[in-house]
Structure 1
Amino acid sequence: MRPDFRRFRLNSPRTASATPATPSPASAPAAPPPLAGGQLVLATIAVALATFMNVLDTSIANVAIPTISGDLGVSVDEGTWVITVFAASNAVSIPLTGWLTQRIGQVKLFVGAILMFVVASWLCGVAPSLPVLLAARVLQGAVAGPLIPLSQAILLGSWPKEKSATALALWAMTATVGPIAGPALGGWITDNYSWAWIFYINIPVGIFAAAVTWSIYRKRESPTRQPPIDVVGLGLLITWVASLQIMLDKGKDLDWFNSPFIVGLGVTALIGFAFFLVWELTEAHPIVDLRLFAQRNFLGGTVAISVAYAVFFGNLVLLPQWMQEYLNYRSVDAGLVTAPLGIFAVILAPVMGRVLPRSDARIIATLAFVGFAVVFYMRSRYVIEIDTWHLVLPTLLQGIPMAMFFVPLTAIILAGQPPNKVPAAAGLSNFVRVFCGAIGTSISTNAWNNRTVLHHVRLTEQATVDNPLFRQQIESTQALLNLSRPSANALFEFTVNTQAAMMGLNDIFYVSAIIFVLIIPLIWITRPAKGGGGGGDAAGAH
């Protein structure tokens, strides 16, 4: 028994679980030493700016869609494709990160993606028509895919292993602030300049980030090899992701499954996804390494962060939309109300870098989910007469669980991954998270619409000409405000619509709070992960 005991003690979880796929120490190339001093600071800033530029573009165009549509002479519904094609293209390219990294190398792929993102941003700004703009957004989304997972991998390789949690905390700051700043910045630029500048601002940021990154990392390139191209897997991935994304985006406009087009998209997505699973799990060189889900930490952490992000991002879209439609907030003002979300998130992120290495990441993530549940319960008590402070307060407090959200769950997901698996693991987990964010947005939007219709029906059940109380109310309104009968009826309808939308939104907030509580057990199917994860010897990797 003693030899077995010693073997158990000396082998890390990574070695025990990944021996067949991991090269021996003698054959594996030595990893570059961590950066230090000013070089580490400058490198972190450059990588963080590339991340910020990417995540900012996921939300900055949202508030500008009406202006873009008007300038290009298309409907707002057509204008929403500016968001949809970016999301679909981005979702497809993210899981390709691991495969592309093996063929090109981390540094070349990262810098090349930044420069292509700059070119695509310029093309978006100069686009004279919607088709040109959509083509540029497809390119922009595709080249943006590798940026987030590679930024995580590069930062983890730049910092000492014992400070990997700090590296993840700094990354989380930029990943958190981008979507928050997007609506406010996009609204301000659109109102004061031109919508084209929401894309042009990426150009100087991207050039700086690419230049600094290349100057520091060009001699720290990861080893490359030439794995076969999984053409079938790539084709299936594009098919089911694009079909599902378009179905979710256009379902409401086409009355969902009453439309043959939506039915066709749904069947295509379902069959494509089924074939994709079978093919990727049996392919020797899959385009997406689905076998990562066999690891307990990757499975639990990825599902938890993806469901939570779906709920969070869906509500992040609904809140400013409600303020603009029913509280008469300007787009820039609605964006500013959501901006305080980043205050505590930024302040506490470095604290998390110090606390996480000495803590159980599962406990911190659980506290984050409880905090989210409390915030959404507070929002479920909103009324139509709410003032700005009571809108801002829950948003401000939400920054606290935000700071405790990304870092611990990312640490759990990447804990114990060998260095050559970090890009693939980060890419796949980010793909699931981003795609769930798009799904969460569609579900939240449609659920709000359905609940609003339901409450409207209930509120107007007694509003008939045969009801003397209703007639008396309308006549009182006419006399009090000196209105005609049609104007009094219109005022009543407006009041009911506003109240029904408020009640429907409260339902969404309340259900969101419950979801955050229900997904807490997902965190606890994982094993303890300390030290920030990501290619280190974090305890309990699998």
Structure 2
Amino acid sequence: MAGDDDIFSRLSPRTRTLAGLVLALSNLMVVLDLTIANVSVPHIAGNLGISPDQGTWIITSYAVAEAICVPLTGWLAQRFGVVRVFTLAMAGFGLFSVLCGLSTTLGMLVACRIGQGICGGPIMPMSQTLLMRIFPPETRNRAMGMWAMTTLMGPALGPIVGGYISDNWSWHWIFFINLPIAVLCVFAAQALLRPVETETAKVRIDKVGLGLLVFWISCLQIMLDIGRDHDWFADPTIIALAIMAGLGFCVFVIWELTEEHPVVDLRVFRHVGFSSALFTLSLCFGSYFASIVVIPQWLQMSMGYTATWAGIVTALTAMAALFTAPIAARMMAKTDPRLLISCAVAWIGIMSLWRAHWTSGIDFYGMALPQFIQGFALPFFFIPLTTLSLGSVLPSETASAAGLQNFVRTMATAIATSLVLTEWGDSQRVSRAEMTRVLQPEQTQSLLSSLGLSPDQIRQMIANIVEQEATVIAIDRVFFISAIILFVAAAIVWLAPKPVGEVDTSAAH
């Protein structure tokens, strides 16, 4: 291991510590941007003159672009060098953040969010790769622990920071604040990490596979995003997008399974443990992220909460996770990871059932309690699932499996966002129609009229009450469906065989 010793000797302990802090900060910024816009969607929608449904494209466009770019990370690192790719990605992320903040139309904002996602995709795995490269084995766990804490802190800080900025400044600043951090990380990376740059080589890229990947994912996501506004399969455009996404996916799978150097190595799915763990991860992460999307919108549009307080309610889950993350890591060495995962996912499902009984009269503490208690279980499914999935593949396949895992997790958040908002909107319409049928407006109108309200005021008041109750019934339905999905996921994980021996999770991101 003389080569490794030579790399470690190139950096002094002080330089290594500073570099570790810069890499953790860069990871925090990218993870933060995944959730910081969630609570700001109503503000952005109002300012740009679009519906909140259209505003969610800001979330999904970033997630999809990031997911598409993740499989390219390994090729980019081999072709241009880890430090160079990290630096350019940070610079691009900062540039597109400024352009997002300057956007005046939805089209411009979505395009710039796609640019953000493309540049942000390599930052997370590259920061982890560089940490593994600059820290010797005896201090690596501590460095990776610091990095993992930023991954958990991002979802916690995102809604609070986004809410505070939207309420007190302007939504534009949720993007502008990335610029000084990006500039700091670019200059620090050049000053501190240049001695540990990796060697480069001209490596062939699977251009056909990449093109097919972009094609079918784009068709699928556009279909999911605009389907709500086009009455789904009643519109020929949606049918065409669905056919193109399905055909593109089939051709992509066939090509990747026969390609010698695929952009996404689908062969790892032959391992039952990996497949079941990844399926469980996508269901759990999708259900968890769905609540991060719908809760702040419901609180702001229907319950009268400011973006700041909506962010606090949303962030309580991730805050609680910070307390149990070290315990989950220690228990991994002594406990069957399938048991930890199954119990944790079932716990989150029970919390989702609890939230399925929320009413329009619920107070802050009534919402905060299940949100906070749910957070204790997060590390017990997230950390063991990573180990279980990577422990089910061959050591030579670990990097490919880790990249595929991150790709599926990111896609799950984008697809879940579209699906849950569709279900929420449909449930609202059904509940509103059912309540309208059983209302007895004559009695209500005579009662309100005796209080001195005009006919217009009475009609508006009844309409507001019906809308508020229909919205809360719809969100309860979303939570109930999420609970069922989580209970199914808790059972599926047992299809995976128990991992044996130590698992190298250094390639996970």
The TM-score, its normalising length taken from structure 1, stands at 0.84
1:87 aligns with 2:101: no
Report deviation, 1:419.
7.6
**What residue is the counterpart of 2:436 in the other structure?**
460
After superposition, the Cα gap between the structure-2 partners of 1:217 and 1:305, relative to the gap in structure 1 and judged at 3 Å, is farther
Cα deviations by residue, 1:402-430 (Å, 9 ceiling, x for unpaired) = 22232222222333767875543322211
Report deviation, 1:74.
6.4
**What residue is the counterpart of 2:279 in the other structure?**
303
Cα deviations by residue, 1:147-202 (Å, 9 ceiling, x for unpaired) = 22333444455566688776655444322322332232122213322333212211
More helix by share: 2
1:522 aligns with 2:492: yes
Paired residue type of 1:205? I
Counterparts of 1:56-455 in structure 2, within 5 Å, are 56-68=32-44, 80-127=56-103, 131-157=107-133, 169-415=145-391, 421-455=397-431
**What residue is the counterpart of 2:459 in the other structure?**
489
Cα deviations by residue, 1:366-412 (Å, 9 ceiling, x for unpaired) = 23212211211221121211111111111111221122232222222
Distance 2:499 2:434 in 1: 49
Report deviation, 1:57.
1.4
- Asked if 2 retains the 8 angstrom alpha-carbon contact of 1:96 and 1:427, the reply is no
- Asked if 2 retains the 8 angstrom alpha-carbon contact of 1:172 and 1:406, the reply is no
Q: Which runs of 5+ in 1 are unaligned?
A: 1-24, 465-469
Report deviation, 1:101.
2.7
After superposition, the Cα gap between the structure-2 partners of 1:221 and 1:371, relative to the gap in structure 1 and judged at 3 Å, is farther
Report deviation, 1:340.
1.9
After superposition, the Cα gap between the structure-2 partners of 1:416 and 1:109, relative to the gap in structure 1 and judged at 3 Å, is farther
**What residue is the counterpart of 1:476 in the other structure?**
447
After superposition, the Cα gap between the structure-2 partners of 1:65 and 1:449, relative to the gap in structure 1 and judged at 3 Å, is closer
Q: Alpha carbon RMSD of aligned pairs, Å?
A: 3.2
Paired residue type of 2:345? F
Paired residue type of 1:272? G
- Asked if 2 retains the 8 angstrom alpha-carbon contact of 1:414 and 1:535, the reply is no
Report deviation, 1:509.
1.2
Report deviation, 1:58.
1.8
1:500 aligns with 2:470: yes
Report deviation, 1:351.
3.2
Report deviation, 1:67.
4.4
After superposition, the Cα gap between the structure-2 partners of 1:320 and 1:358, relative to the gap in structure 1 and judged at 3 Å, is same
**What residue is the counterpart of 1:510 in the other structure?**
480
| Greater CA drift, 109-118 or 76-85 | 76-85
Cα deviations by residue, 1:313-341 (Å, 9 ceiling, x for unpaired) = 11111111111122111122211222222
Distance 2:391 2:467 in 1: 49
**What residue is the counterpart of 1:7 in the other structure?**
none
Distance 2:398 2:503 in 1: 13
Paired residues, number: 506
- Asked if 2 retains the 8 angstrom alpha-carbon contact of 1:105 and 1:224, the reply is yes
After superposition, the Cα gap between the structure-2 partners of 1:375 and 1:79, relative to the gap in structure 1 and judged at 3 Å, is closer
Report deviation, 1:134.
3.9
Report deviation, 1:529.
5.9
After superposition, the Cα gap between the structure-2 partners of 1:325 and 1:93, relative to the gap in structure 1 and judged at 3 Å, is same
Paired residue type of 2:172? A
After superposition, the Cα gap between the structure-2 partners of 1:179 and 1:428, relative to the gap in structure 1 and judged at 3 Å, is same
**What residue is the counterpart of 1:17 in the other structure?**
none
Cα deviations by residue, 1:117-150 (Å, 9 ceiling, x for unpaired) = 1222233334465555444322211111112233
Distance 1:405 1:31 in 2: 37
Counterparts of 1:43-58 in structure 2, within 5 Å, are 43-58=19-34
| Greater CA drift, 251-260 or 299-308 | 299-308
- Asked if 2 retains the 8 angstrom alpha-carbon contact of 1:310 and 1:437, the reply is yes
After superposition, the Cα gap between the structure-2 partners of 1:290 and 1:98, relative to the gap in structure 1 and judged at 3 Å, is farther
Cα deviations by residue, 1:27-64 (Å, 9 ceiling, x for unpaired) = x9999569996555434322221111112112223343
What SS is found at the alignment partner of 1:405? helix
Paired residue type of 1:368? A
Paired residue type of 2:82? Q
Distance 2:353 2:193 in 1: 46
Distance 2:498 2:96 in 1: 42
Identity %: 37
Distance 1:486 1:69 in 2: 28
- Asked if 2 retains the 8 angstrom alpha-carbon contact of 1:113 and 1:146, the reply is yes
Cα deviations by residue, 1:272-308 (Å, 9 ceiling, x for unpaired) = 1111111111111212111222234432222211111
- Asked if 1 retains the 8 angstrom alpha-carbon contact of 2:134 and 2:196, the reply is no
Report deviation, 1:222.
4.3
Distance 2:138 2:392 in 1: 14
Distance 1:521 1:205 in 2: 42
After superposition, the Cα gap between the structure-2 partners of 1:159 and 1:522, relative to the gap in structure 1 and judged at 3 Å, is farther
Q: Rg larger in 1 or in 2?
A: 1
